[in-house]
Amino acid sequence: MKLIENWFSERYSENLQLSFRVSDQLLSVKTDYQRIDVFDTYDFGKLLAIDGTVQLTEKDEFVYHEMITMFPFYHMDKPPRKALIIGGGDGGVAGQLIKMGLESVINIEIDNQVVEVCKKYFPDLADSFTSPKVDLRIEDGIKFMKSSAEKFDLIIVDSTDPEGPAEGLFGQDFYRDVKNRINPGGIVVAQSGSPFYQPKALKMAYNSARSVFKHSIVYTAFIPTYPSGFWSFTMSSDSEMKPSGEEIKSGKYFNSSVLKGATQLPEFVKVILSE
């Protein structure tokens, strides 16, 4: 990616962009699946972009990684032991799951280059792949879901947006396969885009999930480097999901207040989901 006067810009549309001043362009590589860029930014530390879209920065990755792991974790009747991650090639989700006491994590990433890049530039995150509890496999998550017979307590879909290789991860077929891989009482959670800029992605994830599972809950978090700063996640299960009444371990973003508040959706989000 070519920078204009040392600014990296993510285009939210043809008419809107967020720009980070960059001290160093560390990497720009085209893989079989996507373009990967790594920048050193002044305000957010190192930044990983895929196809021009910010995936994570050192300074605010904690919000996304806590919210996609701790939030479903504290909605389960008993602590999950075995988890599956689809995507997550940076290692951030796997690291959170290990920290939370998961015994076994299978991480299916389609693009080996994402893993290699993160090992080099985001070692604090990718370090989780050295854990004996994490089984990292480079393969297509959609195919894995169809071929494997393994079952999991918690399935986390940590994907890019529904353009490019991740599109299938937002569809009903995928959720049908997920259902076959989930233990009783288990939960599947997926990032489902910006309700403000990507209402279709949210609606697609939510409709796909609830056409297959008995219960689906949309929750949100504030992520400053994602489009609009407001992000959604969709969590589904055949069991009822209630916030834990037990003691909560706080992260830097997640805490017992967020556990209560994140499912309280603004009216325009409710309208998207009900349309």
Binding mask 175-214 for a second copy (x = CB under 8 A): ---------------------xx-----------------
Where does this chain touch a second copy (CB under 8 A) — which range of 95-103, 112-120, 237-245, 263-271? Answer: 263-271
CA distances from 143 to 39, 75, 138 (A): 32, 28, 11
Instruction: For residue 264, state whether it binds a second copy (rule: CB under 8 A).
Output: yes
- d(CA 60, CA 47) in angstroms, rounded, equals 10
Number of other CB atoms surrounding residue 241 within 10 Å = 19
**Judged by CB, which is closer to a second copy: 112, or 263?**
263
Of 32, 246, 247, 267, the one binding a second copy (CB under 8 A) is: 267
CA proximity to 51, closest of 161, 126, 144, 211: 161
Stretch that binds a second copy, among 18-26, 141-149, 182-190, 205-213 (CB under 8 A): 18-26
What does the per-residue mask of binding to a second copy show for 59-98, with x meaning CB under 8 A?
----x-----------------------------------
Q: What are phi and psi of 125, to 5 degrees?
A: -85, -50
- In eight-state DSSP terms, residue 154 is E
Q: Using the rule CB under 8 A, give the single segment among 17-25, 123-131, 133-141, 178-186 that binds a second copy.
A: 17-25
Decide: is 265 part of the binding site for a second copy (CB under 8 A). yes
Of 42 and 242, nearer to a second copy (C-beta) is 42
Rg of the chain's alpha carbons, rounded to an integer?
Answer: 18
Maximum pairwise Cα distance, the chain: 54
For a second copy, which residue of 42, 77, 184, 242 counts as binding (CB under 8 A)?
42
Which residues make beta-bridge pairs with 139? Answer: none
If binding is defined by CB under 8 A, does position 246 make contact with a second copy?
Answer: no
Choose among 32, 31, 39: nearest CA to 2.
39
Given the rule CB under 8 A, which of 25-33, 76-84, 110-118, 223-231 is the region that contacts a second copy? Answer: 223-231
For the chain, give percent helix, strand, coil, nearest 5. 35, 35, 35
Count of beta carbons in the 10 Å neighbourhood of residue 213: 20
Q: Identify which of 74, 116, 68, 63 has the alpha carbon closest to the alpha carbon of residue 93.
A: 68
Asked if 53 and 13 count as a contact pair (C-beta separation under 8 A), the reply is: no
CA–CA separation, 204 vs 215, rounded Å? 15
The annotation status of 246 as a binding-site residue, yes or no, is no
Spatial contact of 39 and 24, defined as CB atoms under 8 Å apart: yes
- Contact mark string toward a second copy, 43..62, x via CB under 8 A: xx------------------
Tokens for 248, please give them: 């909560």
Q: Which of 34, 37, 41, 54 binds a second copy (CB under 8 A)?
A: 41
Residues of this chain that bind a second copy (CB under 8 A): 9, 12-21, 41-44, 63, 196-197, 220-222, 224, 228-230, 250-255, 257-258, 260-268, 270
In the annotated binding site for S-methyl-5'-thioadenosine, the residues are 34, 109, 140-141, 165
In the annotated binding site, the residues are 34, 65, 90, 109, 140-141, 158-161, 165
